[in-house]
Amino acid sequence: MYSHKLLKPDGRKLKLYSRYPITSQLEAPSPSNEPVQANPHLRWHPLRGEWVAYASHRQGRTFMPPPEYNPLAPTTNPDFPTELPQGKYDVAVFDNRFPSLIPTANNPPDTIVETLPANGACEVVVFTQDARATLSSLELEHLDLLLEVWGDRTRELGLNPQIQYVLPFENKGVEVGVTLHHPHGQIYAYPFIPPVPARMLSMQQEYYEKHHRGLLQDLIQKEIADNQRIIYEDEYAIAFVPVCARYPYEVWIAPKEPVSNFMGLTPEQRWGLAKALKTVTLKYDGLWNRPFPYLMAWFGAPTDGLAHPEAHLHAEFFPPYRTSERLKYLAGTELAAGMFANDALPEEKAKELQAVMVNIEEPISA
Amino acid sequence: MYSHKLLKPDGRKLKLYSRYPITSQLEAPSPSNEPVQANPHLRWHPLRGEWVAYASHRQGRTFMPPPEYNPLAPTTNPDFPTELPQGKYDVAVFDNRFPSLIPTANNPPDTIVETLPANGACEVVVFTQDARATLSSLELEHLDLLLEVWGDRTRELGLNPQIQYVLPFENKGVEVGVTLHHPHGQIYAYPFIPPVPARMLSMQQEYYEKHHRGLLQDLIQKEIADNQRIIYEDEYAIAFVPVCARYPYEVWIAPKEPVSNFMGLTPEQRWGLAKALKTVTLKYDGLWNRPFPYLMAWFGAPTDGLAHPEAHLHAEFFPPYRTSERLKYLAGTELAAGMFANDALPEEKAKELQAVMVNIEEPISA
């Protein structure tokens, strides 16, 4: 993997990735040359025992681009610079213009609860230069590169001793609030282990200490033996609707053997995950013959400098639909109590996805 | 408070409430006479360490009501029975036809994770017979009755030794997925203390053991001293945008002194909460001069038979809007990591709500 670092005129960082060498003639554009003014802070929520991030952005929004303007497409019109230069590269990562966490946050306000600077990072990951692509339409080589990029981001962000946890995710579809359809994801790098990964790690640690094996490793073995909810399987990777799915079309992707983070993947495991990722997203899009919205997040080990043999890298997809016509709204029991009520059995939803035939080797036109 | 219990032809329970005696001549209708077939079960989510409820409902939906049909309005056309009889009463509570938890669940399936019958209860609380009312338009006496009804439900459901926690909530508005606009809420009664209340109780318990005072009690005192985010205050009750709001327009309502559940409220405290509830909902509706959607949930002590001096009854409102035009979608950091990112400061949103003038004594026409 080749990469090339650039600095935007507003001070934000840009890093380009490719399987081929990247020319150093590129200049990093930015939709605005004004430095990002963000200075987010954290407040402690004493009743839930968790941090909340506050970021108020008040930049003068004088920038009025044409309606077809796509800030994630490579810049072609110098009057309306985008986030990305023209040139040969496959994946691009840059600092979010509207970050909830930044490396240089300082002087949090005094409040009646504990506050901290919201030190961390928020990055945008542009999956491809092709505005009409989706993860399902990218070639396996491209997905394999993306998995390696997520590893590079985890490693590089994790070098910052402030950063304890790196979460790559993708929000996809208007149904989950996405207005920018150029294929992209985000990375949040936190100065603490956030509540959900913290809970998962503690459950995994407890299991590991008791059984000297991984919790997810053993669950995967049981899923394979049960053979009811598997969506994809090869020697190295697996995708399945988990027996305990909270969302009707929830799917998890993981290496079969426990690997604590992206950097620990062998090339074979990464290739297996690329195939699983392509299979799942193709099946999603094929289910109702239309783009399928979801939130996808990758959970690995913290970047806290400690060994995490309990951690097992995996992705979880949370799709908002419960049928082709009906959204699953998170309401009282999910948001206020934290108990999910799923009106579909994981076995049934897995059958629907199993029935969608896909060919991951065939190039797809967007 | 008067109440009257009835049994629906399909076996579900109905209870009517009023400040005046209720005639015993009423008969409980039901949109369908077929017994509810639900037999929900729970599966253990080993990675998150929480229960997930599964309920698949497969009743033949031959029932085709006219478009103006409102199943929560008192029955007027015998050809299309609703959930409620005609007659004089103010609040009605009945078993949900599509429950995720029922008292008689049994024989959960064998899966590769632990399963349990989803024993508990799901109730619908019809706030008034007036289909066009909202909590903001109801008279204080009516809200006071509703608070007492929530107490009666908590007490009665809590008598079932299976039930450990009772959560009354209201989902309001199409934005949160509500299609039925007759003013109503729901109650979930759980066979365990769900994750969110469990976390809150554990934070409160830790604080109580250390300080011999309530966590929320002290936070309220600090909110009063800080005097920046208060929306309503009288001698007994308070409403405020919490310093650690996760949603831009989040508001909490609580008695000032710690009371662990609805049943422990004095009449003065309950009246104060009614006034706070009316003030907050009127201000919400007045903010943009249109109905304001929200999720409202009431958190009290578990019904596990133990003393809970740490628990402090309070309501939390989670509104989905962040500005008049923009929804706050829960995405990667909120749903996958569990860290909320709020792009508004609680102090600013509190000012917006403080500026909305309301008169809670004046009758409002729907």
User: Cα(B303)–Cα(B286) distance, rounded to whole angstroms?
Assistant: 37
Q: Averaged over A131-143, what is the pLDDT?
A: 96
Given an 8 Å threshold on Cβ–Cβ distance, is B339 in contact with A207? no
Share of chain A above pLDDT 90, in %: 85
Can you give the residue ranges of every domain in chain A?
2-193, 196-354
User: Cα(B54)–Cα(A186) distance, rounded to whole angstroms?
Assistant: 32
pLDDT tens profile A291-308: 999 999 999 999 999 999
Q: Mean of the per-residue pLDDT values for chain B?
A: 94
Q: What pLDDT is attached to residue A36? A: 81
Residues 6+ apart with CB under 8 A from A129: A73, A74, A84, A89, A90
Contact list in B for residue A335 (CB cut-off 8 A) is 295, 297, 318
Q: What pLDDT is attached to residue B60? A: 47
> Measured between CB atoms, which of B44, B100, B336 is closest to A295?
B336
Share of chain A above pLDDT 70, in %: 96
Contact list in A for residue B295 (CB cut-off 8 A) is 331-332, 335-336
Q: What pLDDT is attached to residue A291? A: 95
CA atoms within 13 A of residue B61's CA, in its CB half-sphere:
6
Q: H-type helices in chain A, by residue range?
A: 140-159, 195-211, 215-226, 267-287, 346-354
* pLDDT reading at A58 higher than 60: no
User: Cα(B339)–Cα(B309) distance, rounded to whole angstroms?
Assistant: 29
Q: Which of A339, A342, A345 is most worth mutating to test chain B (most B CB atoms within 10 A of its CB)?
A: A339
pLDDT tens profile B44-70: 999 999 999 999 865 544 556 677 889
- ipTM at complex level: 0.95
Cα dihedral sign for B69, B73, B77, B83? positive
CATH numeric code, B196-354: 3.30.428.10
Q: SS3 of B146, please?
A: helix
The phi, psi pair for A330, rounded to 5°, reads -80, 125
How many CB atoms neighbour CB B2 within 10 A?
13
Q: Cα angle at A81 between A80 and A85, to 5 degrees?
A: 145
Q: Cα angle at B331 between B326 and B333, to 5 degrees?
A: 120
The alpha-carbon gap from B3 to the nearest alpha carbon of chain A, in Å, equals 26
What's the token pair of residue B234?
């009288």
* pLDDT reading at B139 higher than 50: yes
Q: What pLDDT is attached to residue B25? A: 85
State which amino acid sits at residue A185: G
Q: Averaged over A321-346, what is the pLDDT?
A: 94
Burial B84-118 (b: 16+ CB within 10 A, else e): bbebebbbbbbbbbebbbbbebeebeebbeebebb
β-partners of residue B185 are B125
Q: SS3 of B115, please?
A: strand
Q: Mean of the per-residue pLDDT values for chain A?
A: 94
Q: What pLDDT is attached to residue A254? A: 98
State which amino acid sits at residue B186: Q
Secondary element (H or E) of residue A123: strand A121-126
Q: SS3 of B14, please?
A: strand
pLDDT band at B210 (very low <50, low <70, confident <90, very high): very high
pLDDT tens profile A207-247: 999 999 999 999 999 999 999 999 999 999 999 999 999 99
Query: Of A247, A260, A237, A259, whose CA–CA distance to A360 is shortest?
Result: A237
The alpha-carbon gap from A316 to the nearest alpha carbon of chain B, in Å, equals 8
* pLDDT reading at B366 higher than 80: no
DSSP conformation class of A332 = I
Please determine whether the domains at B2-193 and B196-354 fall in the same fold group of CATH: yes
pLDDT band at B364 (very low <50, low <70, confident <90, very high): low
pLDDT band at A25 (very low <50, low <70, confident <90, very high): confident
Q: Counting one residue from A and one from B, how many pairs have CB atoms under 8 Å apart?
A: 240
Burial B119-140 (b: 16+ CB within 10 A, else e): bbbbbbbbbbbeeebbbbbbbe
Q: SS3 of B50, please?
A: strand
Q: Averaged over B144-168, what is the pLDDT?
A: 98
The alpha-carbon gap from B254 to the nearest alpha carbon of chain A, in Å, equals 13
Q: SS3 of B196, please?
A: helix
CATH numeric code, A2-193: 3.30.428.10
Share of chain B above pLDDT 90, in %: 85
Contact list in B for residue A311 (CB cut-off 8 A) is none
Q: Averaged over A153-176, what is the pLDDT?
A: 96
**Residues A252, A314: contact at Cβ < 8 Å?**
yes
* pLDDT reading at A366 higher than 70: no
Given an 8 Å threshold on Cβ–Cβ distance, is B197 in contact with A337? yes
**Residues A20, A88: contact at Cβ < 8 Å?**
yes
Contact list in A for residue B223 (CB cut-off 8 A) is 112
Q: What pLDDT is attached to residue B179? A: 83
